[in-house]
Structure formats: C-alpha cells, structure tokens
Structure 1
Amino acid sequence: MDYPLLTTMQLGHVLQSARKLRGLTQAEMGERLALSQKRISALERNPGSITVEQLLGLCSALGLELTIAPRTTPPMAAKGARAPRSKVEW
C-alpha cells in the first residue's frame, strides 16, 4: 500500500505503524539501526529531525522503500492553503 506524505507528522505515524505491524519495539528497532530507543521514539514523535540516512535505514529495516513521484492531486496552495516555504532554491 502507498502512503502519500505531505507532512513530517504523517511520516512519524507511518514509521510507528510499520514498526508495530512487524512486532518490533522501539528498542529492537534501535538495535537494528545502532540508534537508541530514545532516538527511535524522538523520530516517531518528531520526524522533522530525521536524517536521510536514518530515514533510509528505517525504511530498509521495516521492509519499506522510499519513492518520490509527481503528485496525483492538486497541491495544497490550489485549495487555499499555503505550502511550507522551502529555503532551497530550485
């Protein structure tokens, strides 16, 4: 199943759900990734602080893959909401 993510909090929920679905505790996940249980907890609660390396490691340990694809729905701005401003210039 695909999980389109538009916010970091959605990422946290997906990571936590995938971990629990596989019957892993935060401590067990931390052992697999050489991270502490506290760090796994922090990543699930506030995934905005995750590094790309940690995200890819979590995905691998959870049997997930990261895919970046064009949106199939209109961007938030088209619905009247403002998208977060990026500091990166494309």
Structure 2
Amino acid sequence: MDYRISLATQLSSHLKSLRSQQGLSQAALGKLLGVGQVRIANIENNPGAVSLDQMLSILHLLGCGLSIYKRDEVKTATGKPDNDNKPDW
C-alpha cells in the first residue's frame, strides 16, 4: 500500500502502524537499528528530526521504501490532479 505524505508530521502515525504490523516493539526495532527504545519513540513522535539515512534504514527494516513523485503528475481516481496534499511551504 502507498501512503502519500507531504509533511513529516504525517509520517508519525504511519511509522507506528508499520512497526506494529511487523510485530515489533519500539525496543525490538531499536535493537535492529542499533539504537535504544527511547530513540525510536522520539523518531515516531518527531520524524522530521531524524536524518534521511536513519529514516531510510527504518523504512527498510519495516519492509518499506521511499518514493519521490512530482505532485502535479499524480492523479486521483477521477483522473484529476491531486492538489489536496500540498504542503504549506
């Protein structure tokens, strides 16, 4: 399943859900990543404060990856461009 995320804050719930789907506690994921449970909790609560390298490692351990797409080329089921997920930058 694809999750379209425009802001780091949107990633928080997805990380927690993906970890749970893998049957991993924060401590177990931390052990796989080489960090402590507190670090995983911090990453899940503030995913914008983690390095891209560490985020990619976490996504890999959770069986996921990162895709980059051009927003104006993404279409909804109606065939119209999806302009609802634009960040406020």
TM-score bucket (shorter structure): 0.7 to 0.9
What stretches of structure 2 of length at least 5 have no aligned partner?
Answer: 75-81
The normalised TM-score by structure 2 is 0.82
Could you say what the CA RMSD is over the residues aligned between the two structures, in angstroms?
A: 1.6
Residue-pair matches, total: 80
The one-letter amino acid paired with 2:52 is V
Q: Which residue of 1 aligns with 2:12?
A: 12
Unpaired stretches in structure 1, ≥5 consecutive residues: 85-90
The separation in 1 between residues aligned to 2:85 and 2:3, in whole angstroms, is 17
- 1:9-88 to 2 correspondence within 5 Å? 9-71=9-71, 72=74, 73-74=82-83, 83-84=88-89
Q: Structure 1 length as normaliser, TM-score? A: 0.81
Counterpart contact for 1:43–1:49, Cα < 8 Å: yes
**Structure 1 residue 13 displacement after superposition:** 1.1
Ranked by relative contact order (alpha carbons within 8 Å, sequence separation 6 or more), the top structure is: 2
Where in structure 1 do 4 or more consecutive aligned residues deviate above 6 Å? none
The aligned residue for residue 77 of structure 2 is none
CA contact (8 A) 2:22 2:62 kept: yes
Counterpart position of 1:87: none
Aligned AA (1:83): D
- The percentage of aligned residue pairs carrying the same residue is 35
